[in-house]
Structures are given as structure tokens and as C-alpha cells.
Amino acid sequence: MEANILLHHLNFIRQRNFPTKYSLLNAAETPTETPYLASPEPSSNKFSKFNPISSVKARHAQIVKMPQNKDSDIKVQSLITSYLEFGDFQSAAMVFFVGFAENYLYWNSFLEDFRSSGGDPFQILEVFVKLHNTGVTFGSETLATVLKLSANVVDAWLGLEVHACLIKRGFDLDIYSKCALMNFYGTCWGLDIAYEVFNETSDDSSLLWNEAVLVTLRNEKWLQGIEFFRQMQFSSVKANTFTIAKVLQACGKVETLDEGKQVHGYVIRNAMESNVFICNSLINMYLKNGSVQFARAVFDRMENRNLSTWNSIISGYATFGYLKDARELLRGMETCNVKPDIVTWNSVLSGHLHNGSYREVLNILQHMLIAGFEPNTRTITTVLQAVSEMCCRNLGKEIHCYVVRNGLDSDLYVGTSLIDMYVKNSDLDSARAVFDNVKERNIIAWNSMISGYSFNGNFEKAVSLIEQMEGEGVWPELVTYNSMVSGYSTAGRLNEALNMIRDIKNSGLTPNVVTWTALISGSSQNGHHQQALEHSYQMQGEGIKPNEATIASLLRACAGLSLLQKGKEVHCLSIRNSYTKDAFVCTALIDMYSKCGDLRSAYNVFQRVPNKKVASWNSMIMGFSTNGHGQDAISLFHRMLEDKLQPDAITMTGLLTACKHSGQIDKGWKYFDSMETEYGITPTIQHYSCMVDLLGRCGYLDEAWDFIRGMPIEPDASVWGAFLGSCRIHDNIQVGEIAAKELFKIEPDNPANYVLLMNMYAARQRWNDADKVKDLMDIRSVKLGNVWSWIEINKKVHVFSATGNHDEDGEIYFELYRLISEIKKMGYIPDTKCVYQNVDEKEKEKALLSHTEKMAITYGLIKTKANNPIRVIKNTRTCADCHTFAKYISLVRKRQIILKDGTHFHHFIQGACSCRDFW
């Protein structure tokens, strides 16, 4: 039966035409007697006596002549060692085959020594074939071992010939041979043939079952291997330690926590918890599944822990952001008399890097050096990445000097990290100098430099470098093209990015998820949110599945357009793809819901975020701030401090924004003053702008003016714009004129500044001055932007423009007149001061009716169900009259109205607004 299967396999091989290095086809049919040890051929070289190996050959000859005794094994082992030391690998292999080949223990140590001495395993097979062809006979153990080696070096033909020898010699039913055959076929010919060998065996040997599981896992069929292990338990076959460890590794690879727990149960039932190797595998399995608590439970129950145990748990804690626990475990190693190694330190460094604790990376490096550990290449690359993120070029140069002094600059990964560090610090000249000094540059080094030029907008140099790369025989890969797509997209040059995608297709490559995500992200960052969504449709049309970064970019686009329904669809997509655990996706979800005015959903997402990073806290604090819940934002900030998280500049911007929108001037000063003293944060222009806005809105215009004049940095348009807005609120036209003049210098093409000043003049009936501002706009060719509001109903966006008409204007105005009449009875008085036109009161009341937010709110009342909130987006600041109108409507119609004007939200409920009329 087995011979027929072998013939079938041989026919299969002829079709595939596999090459082989050695052959047994010339083997002698009749074995001949051979000496105990093959004697070396006498040397004909007259200088052989001066060759050091000649003494080894002489000793070899003596051993052959002497009779066997109890010391023979020791002498043979010494002889093999000597041959390996002098690099005579063939002689070493020949001595081994004749002397020790039948002993598995000797074989494992021999193969390890052979490789460590620089020998090629193919040489062992060559010696085996030579001995076999001269008539030396080998037992099943040797043939099984040669099969394993054939699998190791993937010599498909030789393995098949050894199988034929096993059949001819009657060894094919031997269990060890069967295991070796399964391993060989699984490696060289596929699992189906390996399973045939397994299925043809009636013996339910534990060795065969264990080998079947291992063969499956070696082929990275993780789920199939786990299922095989399950069947093995149903057959009441006991798994060995190595198999259990590999199955646990598979449970970690495919993140099957339930199956991993079942294997853990098997370990407990079979009293294997004392095995350090298995416990280490359990810890790694739980960590790969994100179950840090279970991993720690296994760790705490271990009586004996080795260095690998400590490294695993420390690495896990560091990876998942439990940095304090990781450092405590590192200190705990010393109390347990276990000395950390470089792997331990690198794990802690890497964990702090990936969790954004860049300064702490440098502190840990200092402690590592004090402890007497020399940084290796992985240490250096980790520290360089931290320096890159901190943009500390001078510190990066110091590390570069250390690299050169210690000869680490020849390492390609270190060189690439140095290039990346200089690129992120915008020092492209130094990056290019490092690049030019890297010997034998691979595609990674080329890509790093090309991406550096691309991300910094030096596209001509990037293209030139690609041409140089091709000239040196290194062809661009998808990563190369993707860096160009990302650079063009980030710079807002979307047409060039699309052309680059066409170039990718023309080169025979296929744009992947990274390509499209770069385009979507760039579009969103440059305010082209609708294009970002359209690119996502095209990506999905080409059958490319979005990843976490794609989802985050799409959510940013939805936030930019305040498209709540579309944002919910993207949220569903992230749930279906199990992306909701990703920190970037969670942060983007919070931001999207906040910018769409759905604060409840934003907070629900925030509550479910595991191991919240600073970015998640920042998004939620800013969400509360912009939606008028200043006190909630401040309370959340204090919760963040209780969780021992260090606020950053963005946190403080959100906090000051909360104070600004809620008029809490004392707290605003307190938090601003504490930035440098308590948190080491240097205030940026955004923080100064928030303080000017806060002081101005609260009526402290003189203090705001003094604050601007005392700023250590030059005030920009955001500062003067905040000040001008405050002057309008408090009708201080004298100071407002100063702010307006500054704005006309900084951004002369922004029509909003001119309109604001004109409105201030109009409110004072200074029509001549208003006309002068209008004339100035004409001289500078500044055009007024279109004012619009829109509402989304049944996934369709309805836009109401001050210059356009809606298809249902008649019905909208009819309902609007009814609403005005109804709320007038409740005390509503049209605020005609909001009309900055030189017309009579009746005309002003008519003009108020055409305000776009009133139209959108009315349309929402007509077209939506009574229990649904009305969400309206307006591109400019809402006027006081529309604000009052929305309050009355929320009371009369018992509807929640959410109005976004610019970047601020108004939530109208039962006649009150979340801004408390402070906006």
C-alpha cells in the first residue's frame, strides 16, 4: 500500500520538477562490511606534517586501529570536536555517522555543534549519501534523522528517496520514522500528504498525534492545529510539553482566548503548572490576547521563574501601557535574585516609547547605563525614535556620536533610525549625510530618505532619489510609492497623489490600504472632507478592506462635515472589523460624535475605551468644552489627574476653551498659570488666544489688551480675531478698530474680519464708516463668502443659503410664519439689531425671517418625527435673534435643537441653551 502511495508521490514530483542536491539512486543493493570508524585517506602532501589537522587525522587512525572500550565514545566525541574546530566538516560528519548516528541524544548536540562551527547542514547530507552509496547500512533512527534534516534544508527529492529506503528496509512502520515522514512531507510537500501518512497508521501513539499537531502549526495553520489538538484530547492521547507550548502560541497568534483558557484547563488537570516552559507560554498567550490580569495570575502562582518569565510579563505590562507596573516588576527582579538582561531593559524602553512616554525613555536609558548595560542596536533605535518624536535634534546628535564611537553606525536599522530622526527634525542635510554613508543600502534606507523628502515637500529631490535608486538596480516597491502618495496628499496636492496611484498600477503593483488611507487622510487634513469620503468609496469598490488608520481618517472627515449618520455608519464598520479597541479609532470616534453634537454617544465611547491614553481624555474634554459643558470638562480633567496621567498642551487648550465658553475667568487664570509651574508645558499661541477670548468675553477688554501687549510671542490672527469678537460683544468700537487693522495686515483676504467691523459700525448707525470698509474690500478684491445652514434628513443633506432657493421654500415659509406668530404670543420680540442694513423696522423683521438657521430648523420640524432632535450646521456665527428663536421653538415644540455655528455647539432644551447665553 505504502509503496503505491510513494509511486503516486514520485509522479507528482516529476510534474513539479523539483531540484535536489543529492541522490541515493546509485546506492549499492548489497551492503558491505565497514569498519567501526572510517579511516581518513593518507595525505600525499609532503607538507602535511606542518598542517595542524594532520595530528587530528593521526589520532583518528589510532582510534580506528584500537579495539573498542568504555572510553571509545569519549574519544570519538573528542575527534568530532577537533574536526569541527579545524573546519573539516565532512570528516566530522563521517565520524559521526559511523560512530554515533543511532543515538538521538548525540545527534541533537552534534547538529548544534556543527552549525555553531560554521558548517552547512547540506554537508552532512552529502556525507550520508556518500556512505550510503558505498554500501554503509543505517538503522531506522539514522534514516529518520536524515529525513528531519532533509525537511530542515527543504531537500524534497532526497527525503523521498529516504522514504523509499525505509520501505525497502521495512522501517516504514516504525513510529519515529512515521513522525519524521510527517514532518518531511508537511514541510516539503504540504499538509495533505503529511496527513495521509498519519491516517494510514492504526497506532494511536502519542508521538504521532503530537507530531500531527506540530506539523500543522509549523505550516502556520493555527486554527487547524488547535482543532487537531482538540481531537487529540477526544482520543485520550496525552500531549507533551512542547506541543502544549506550541498550541498556546497558536492561541496567541489568532487571539483565541477561549481556546487558550481550555488549554490552560488541560494544563491544570494534568498537573503541569509547575513546568516553567508551559507557564511562560501561558503568560505569552494571555498577553497576546490582551488579558494582562490572567497573565499576571499565572505569573504570581509560579514557584520557579526564569529570566524569560520576567521578560515576558514586564514586556506585556509595558506594551499595554502599565508602565508603572512594568518598572515595579523590573525592581522586583532584584529581590528575587534574577538579574535583568538587555532584553528586559529594551522591553521597558519599547513600552514607554509606544505609549508616548518619550522623556521617560531617556530616564530609563540613564538607569540602564548606571546598571552597567551597554545599549545594543535595538536600544539605540528605540531611543532614536523617542528623540524623533520629541524633536530634540541636539540630543539626537549626541546619540549619533555615541553610535559612531561604538561602531554601531554600520547597522542598517540604526542608520535608518538616524535618518528618520533627522528627517523628523527637518534636518534633511544631516539625514542625507547619514544616508550617503550607509554601506550596502537596502530598500528600507532608500524609502526612509525618499519619505523624508516627500513629507517635507521636497518632491523634486524625492523623485530624483527614486531615479538614482533605479540606476543602482534597486526597484521602487509599494512602500516607496506610498510615501510619495502620502507626501503629496499631506501637502494638499491631491491631483499629484492620484497620478502617483496611477503610476503604481502602471508599474504592475496594486495600491493597498496604506495607499488609499494616505490619500483619504491627506484629503481630510486639508479640509477636503467630501473628497475623502469619495476616495473611500473608490477604495472599497476595488475590494480593499479599510484598516484602523482608514477608519480614523474617515471619522475625521465625518467630523469635519458634521455628518452624524455617516459617522455612525463608519462606527458600525469599525465594530464589524473589531477596530473599536484601537486607541486612534476610539479617539476619532469621540471627536466625531462631539463635533456632530452627539455628546452622549461620545461619552459612551469614552467610557468603553480600555487603558485610556491622553489623546482620548483630550478629545472628551474638548468635546465637553465645545458643546457648552464647561464644568464637565473641568471635572474630567481632574479625573484624568487622579488617574496619574500627565496633561499635554492639547489638554490645556481644551481646559481653557471650557473656561472660555462657560465664563470661568478665575479658573482660566489658574489653569493658565499652572501650565509651566505644575505641568512643564510652555504656552503656545492657542493658549494665549483662549485667554484673550476668555478675558474679552467676560468684559475685561483692558486686561485682554494688556495681556496681548505682554505676550512673549507675536499675536496672530486667532488672538486678534478673539479680541475683535469680544469688542463686538461689548460694543467697544474704539479698541475694535485697532484689532481690525491688525487683522487686515495679517490676513487681508479674510472677509469675516471686514464683515465684523462693518456690523459694528452698522450697529452704531455709522453707515459711512461701514461703506468705507466695503470699499476697502472692493479695492482688495475680497469677496463675501456664502452664508449657509444645512440639515441632514434620511441621509440627504438639505442646504439653505442666503442667496439660493430651496425646492420647498413655500411650505417652509408658511410654517415659519406660524411659528413666529405662536412664539410672539409667548413673549418673543424680533431683535432687529441683528440686521445690519439701513432699512426700516418692518424690512428688518422680514430680513430676520430669511436667516438660514431659521429655515433649516423649520424644515427639520416639518420633516422629522416629534421625538427626534433637530441638528443644524451653520458656517458662521449665529445671531442673537436666531438664538432666541431656537430657545422658544425648543419650548413650544418640545424638541431638542442642536445648532453648530462655526466650532461651537448650542444645545436648546425646554427654552434654555447649553451656552447659557454666553457665546
Are 536 and 425 in the same domain? no
Please report the pLDDT score of residue 99 as a whole number.
65
Question: What DSSP state is assigned to residue 796?
Answer: E
Nearest to 64 by CA among 42, 44, 84, 49: 42
Tell me the pTM.
0.66
Are 475 and 515 in the same domain? yes
Are 757 and 860 in the same domain? no
176 domain-assigned:
no
CATH assignment of the domain containing 743: 1.25.40
Are 688 and 747 in the same domain? yes
Which three three-digit cell numbers place residue 652? 490645556
Range of the domain at 459: 441-541
Of 785, 804, 823, the position where a domain reaches its end is: 785
Nearest to 626 by CA among 598, 585, 587: 598
Please report the pLDDT score of residue 172 as a whole number.
65
* Residue 488 clears pLDDT 90, i.e. is over it: yes
688 domain-assigned:
yes
47 domain-assigned:
no
Separation between Cα atoms, residue 861 and residue 793, nearest integer Å = 11
* Residues whose CB falls within 8 Å of the CB of residue 629, separated by 6 or more in sequence, listed in order: 599, 658, 914
702 domain-assigned:
yes
Task: Work out how many domains the chain is built from and give that number.
Answer: 5
Are 751 and 828 in the same domain? no
Are 449 and 461 in the same domain? yes
Q: Which of 59-68, 339-348, 582-591 has the lowest mean pLDDT?
A: 59-68
Of 511, 541, 571, the position where a domain reaches its end is: 541
Q: What percent of the chain has pLDDT above 90?
A: 53
Please report the pLDDT score of residue 123 as a whole number.
74
Of 492, 521, 541, the position where a domain reaches its end is: 541
Question: What DSSP state is assigned to residue 809?
Answer: H
Tens digits of per-residue pLDDT, 674-714?
Answer: 999 999 999 999 999 999 999 998 999 999 999 999 999 99
Q: Which of 145-159, 323-337, 374-388, 792-806 has the highest mean pLDDT?
A: 374-388
723 domain-assigned:
yes
Tens digits of per-residue pLDDT, 851-898?
Answer: 999 999 999 999 998 888 999 999 888 999 999 999 999 999 999 999
Are 454 and 537 in the same domain? yes
Are 793 and 744 in the same domain? no
- Is pLDDT larger for residue 544 or for residue 19? 544
Tens digits of per-residue pLDDT, 630-653?
Answer: 999 999 999 999 988 889 999 999
Angle (CA) 155 158 162, round 5°: 135
CATH assignment of the domain containing 481: 1.25.40.10
Separation between Cα atoms, residue 221 and residue 218, nearest integer Å = 8
274 domain-assigned:
no
852 domain-assigned:
yes
Are 820 and 908 in the same domain? yes
3-state DSSP call for residue 391?
coil
Are 725 and 766 in the same domain? yes
777 domain-assigned:
yes
Are 418 and 494 in the same domain? no
65 pLDDT band (50/70/90 cuts)?
Answer: low
Are 550 and 535 in the same domain? no
Distances (CA, A) of 895 to 864, 874, 892, 898, 907: 11, 19, 8, 10, 11
